Structure 1
Amino acid sequence: MIEIDDDEDEPVFRIRYIKGEMIENTGGYWEQYNPNKKSWYKLCEECMEKVRKPSESLCKFHFKQEEKSRKKMILKLRNSKKKLKRLNNKIKTKNNKQKLSLQTTIDSKLEQIVNGEHEKSNESLGIVISVSSSLNKKQISQVKEFIMNFHNKSQSIQLTCEYQPDYIDDTTTHIITNDSGSFTTILTKQIIQACVRHIFIGSIKWIISSLEQSFIVDQFPYEILRDKQSFKNSRGIKQCRFDQLPVFPSSCIISVECHKGIKQLKITRDELIEIVELSGATLLNDYIGYETLIILCNSKKEMINRRKQYNVNLVINEKNIYYSKPEFLFDSIVRHEIQAIEKYLW
């Protein structure tokens, strides 16, 4: 038999205050006395029933209700995110199917960027510069002067590689090259590397104009449009920056011979392989089947040697193999359009 006589004077309810918060009921909670256990237990702040756990403020019933509403809210948020994602994908698909004209794309891009003073729009972004091998020593010095004059705490400007100004990697944001007239430039390794990375390619005139005016002028009027050999209406180089999609589909299989690289452009074989992969094409290996294969060769001799190799291995789909000059790859990249391969065949 449990004696509870000693508890007759104990109050049935009391408010327990959290230490340091003894103002009215702020920070406090109700407790009820249990005469059987001679102890106090915490009450739900909604209904004055015993709480689910001493560390919590709700009973089992109200805890379940709160959990239900919380899960509903999470589900609602997830559904909203999914709807937004689907809507975004629809817009992207629509834009891909109905491509805007290049001029419209340029105008909309410029509207986003040029909304204030020219120098303010440039100062908002960090600039990492590489130079094309078409620049002379004086022009490279001007690029370095540009960096020295305008680099500060609010505007980070630097070379991709201090000791090799023409080095390009994924951190590079700007390539500076010569303007051969009408915003064209000669084809160099750096131009090709910049195009497959969708990097801004600007004329040295942007650097010179900024130095003359003592502030960074708007870069877009100095953007290079195309390589020197392209058609006059082409804007392939500029389009490479706008269109983030690779020029080749992954179904395009390319094999690289060119064991000595491309001498005239100073491209090593490893660099050529990297360009192929960045262009979106798939590099041939022993595990890939193909319907059509493009083999890049530097010379007829390389082509003949490769053909002999296929004859030894009893290749049966020789008709679907194209032995092409590397220019097919380069021209397709800088013009941002796959070229007709027939004129590049050995």
Structure 2
Amino acid sequence: ENGINTPSRQITLEQEIPPESKKRKREPSLILSSIPATKIVIATTALLDDQWNDVLTFFRQFSQVQLSTNLNVNNSTTHLLVDDSENHLHCTITKKIVQAAVRHHIFIISSRWLNECMRLNKFIDEHPYEIISDSHTTLRSSQHDSNATNKYLFSQNSQYSYAFAIECRQCQGSINRSELIELIQLTGAQLFQNEQAVDVLIVLCDTSDKNLNKIKEKYMNAPASNIKYVTSDFLLKSIIKFEIQDIDKYSL
């Protein structure tokens, strides 16, 4: 009866509300990458064709970014791009992921990070895109603190000294001997030398090694307080998680 509820009156009341009194939806603040654009060096592993096309587009848009030499993971690499299209933030462990995991400064991230960077035309924070795990193992998080006390898995400041001997013919089918030596050295452990006294000697062997007894004879008199014969999975799982695994679970 008083006309307040008529459509025309409702419009008038709406128009009378000052704009500043309306609730505004606040945009979340955008967190950017802490790595300068000129320092970003990208490697990739097991990307799909369309994801690789995104990589090429990314490099055209951000020409200051570098591609890692031969797409390999090395000490200058800052980002390893991974396919997580089947299960977000999860992936299959590859050789490059192990090589990146042992280098704490490298982000192991979903290739979706590229797309968001291109959409915003900015290098955004990598942490929300870090790969969490494969189906069995939780991956370590990146660590960019150069002063970190736990920089090495087998810390050189540890109460125990560790050394590895390599007797396995293959490691996950794709990691060769020289690459395995590099991984060992990057963990802070040593490659065993015959006259070298250590607390723990870890001998990497094949899963079903028919020559295991001969290998044990070879190291019978090694100057080590404790000798463990294990599969190479012990080293790889320890690297991926950045946590020394229960060695007895991998013993032969």
Same fold (TM over 0.5): yes
CA apart distance, 1:225: 2.9
Of structures 1 and 2, the one with the larger relative CO (CA 8 A, separation 6+) is 2
In the aligned structure 2, how far is the partner of 1:210 from the partner of 1:338? Answer: 35
Larger radius of gyration: 1
Equivalent residues in 2 for 1:18-57, closer than 5 Å: none
Please name the residue that 2:140 is paired with: 237
Tell me what 2:50 maps to.
Answer: 138
Superposed CA offset, 1:48-91 (max 9, x none)? xxxxxxxxxxxxxxxxxxxxxxxxxxxxxxxxxxxxxxxxxxxx
TM-score normalised by length of structure 2: 0.73
CA drift at 1:149: 1.1
Look up the match of 1:169.
74
Aligned position for 2:100: 194
Structure 1 CA distance for aligned equivalents of residues 217 and 211 of structure 2? 10
- Matches for 1:1-346 after TM superposition, within 5 Å: 118=31, 125-132=38-45, 134-151=46-63, 156-161=64-69, 164-165=70-71, 167-179=72-84, 181-198=87-104, 199-230=106-137, 234=138, 236-239=139-142, 245-250=151-156, 251-259=161-169, 261-264=170-173, 266-301=174-209, 304-305=210-211, 307-311=213-217, 315=221, 320-346=226-252
Q: Runs of at least 4 residues of structure 1 off by over 6 A?
A: 316-319
Amino acid at match of 2:39: G
- State the distance in 2 between where 1:270 and 1:294 align: 17
> Which residue identity lines up with residue 41 of structure 2 in the other structure?
V
1:308-337 deviation digits (Å, cap 9, x = unpaired): 155367637899321111111111111111
Aligned to 1:86: none
TM-score using structure 1 length: 0.55
Gaps of 5+ in 2: 1-28
Question: 2:201·2:224 contact (CA, 8 Å) conserved in 1?
Answer: no
Q: How many residues align?
A: 215
- Maintained 8 Å contact 1:254/1:295: yes
Supply the distance in 2 between the matched residues of 1:216 and 1:300 (Cα, whole angstroms).
Answer: 47
